[in-house]
Structure 1
Amino acid sequence: MAAPFPDRPWGSRTGLLGRTVSVFAATGAGSALVRALGPLDRRILQRTAGRYTALGPVGAPALLLTTTGRRSGQPRTTPLLYAHAGDVLYLIGSNFGGEHHPAWTSNLLAHPEAVITIAGERIPVHTELLQDAERKAEVFAQFEQISQAYTAYRGRTSRELRIFAVRRS
């Protein structure tokens, strides 16, 4: 068994702030604000090596994912929430419920090797798109526990949300 991934959420999802942000993030305005905070979140996560996020102490399990651009071949870094399962992390391509898959998911399909920055560590990883419908449903339920926004995101789009398993390389 591989070493477990670190897990260091900042704050509490079940506290008043965490619950409020979860409800707000599920709205169109909340999704727009979180999307707009993306560049700032990327910089904060980079400067703190994945310890802190622009979302604040809301218990959001955040990391930085650095992929290889499928067309450019250049590194592309994206702040994401994750579901933690010990030696496996899960990432979901919700794109806030948009009609198109986020670019990072296409990058992983083309180049499944990536690097995550989480809780002060940079870790080389291998990713795999989940195919099993039952497993995808179980993992999606984990994301719904993180934030009810994921239920709203799934309801906004007709596309199937891509879910990736992430393991140490």
Structure 2
Amino acid sequence: MASTNRDKMVKPDSMTEQEFQWLKDATASLERIRGDAKADVERFLANPDGWASGKGSPSGLPTLLLTVTGRKSGQKRATPLVFLQEGESMVVVGSLAGYDEHPAWYLNLKASPKCWVQLDHRKMTAVARDATEAERKALWPKLDKVFPAWGYFQKQTTRPFAIVYLTPTGPA
């Protein structure tokens, strides 16, 4: 559960009423977030060109497909994530729309930092690491430009968001 009442969320000045209503609807429950992510994975795999890093996802945001090993199941789990290209690495944010728990993909990376990343048709192995405090401070303004809702979501919880570097280690 989020630390605040999601019905009392205040619209950020940077959003239109329509965008804000979409955001509230899309993040109304963890079940909705997880269901939408599962559907996005299916769309990504069906049409990776529509999600190419240079073009962004159908929403216009730069999106990658992250696959991790489930810490309990041992099965591969995929999720689409908005990212920032930072040198050779991709930086992702574990916001879970401002809910008080970390997203499962982040907990899985903490258990095993080896992962797989897909950008359009390019598939690569990668290793994950948390950004240092200094890196977090330097990255946040860039991340906020990529997806301003992250700043809004951060205000919904006292949990600091995970900021994770995914550094390629080779082809998958």
Q: TM-score range by the shorter chain?
A: 0.7 to 0.9
Give the equivalent residue in structure 2 for 1:148: 148
TM-score by length of 1: 0.77
| SS of 2:48 mapped into structure 1 | coil
Q: Which has the larger radius of gyration?
A: 2
Counterpart check, 1:43 vs 2:42: yes
Unpaired segments of 5 or more residues in structure 1?
Answer: 1-18
Unpaired segments of 5 or more residues in structure 2?
Answer: 1-14
Compared with structure 1, are the counterparts of its residues 89 and 163 closer, same or farther at alpha carbon in structure 2 (3 Å cutoff)? same
CA RMSD, Structure 1 to Structure 2 (Å): 2.7
The ranges of structure 1 where at least 4 consecutive aligned residues each deviate by more than 4 angstroms after the TM superposition are 19-23
| SS of 2:72 mapped into structure 1 | coil
Matches within 5 A, 1:1-169: 23-24=19-20, 27-32=23-28, 35=33, 36-49=35-48, 51-52=50-51, 57-130=58-131, 132-169=132-169
Compared with structure 1, are the counterparts of its residues 87 and 56 closer, same or farther at alpha carbon in structure 2 (3 Å cutoff)? closer
Give the equivalent residue in structure 2 for 1:7: none
TM-score by length of 2: 0.76
* Contact 2:51/2:119 (8 A) holds in 1: no
- The separation in 2 between residues aligned to 1:117 and 1:22, in whole angstroms, is 31
Number of residue equivalences: 149
Which one has more relative contact order, counting CA pairs under 8 Å at least 6 apart?
A: 1
- The separation in 2 between residues aligned to 1:137 and 1:111, in whole angstroms, is 25
Q: Report sequence identity in percent.
A: 25
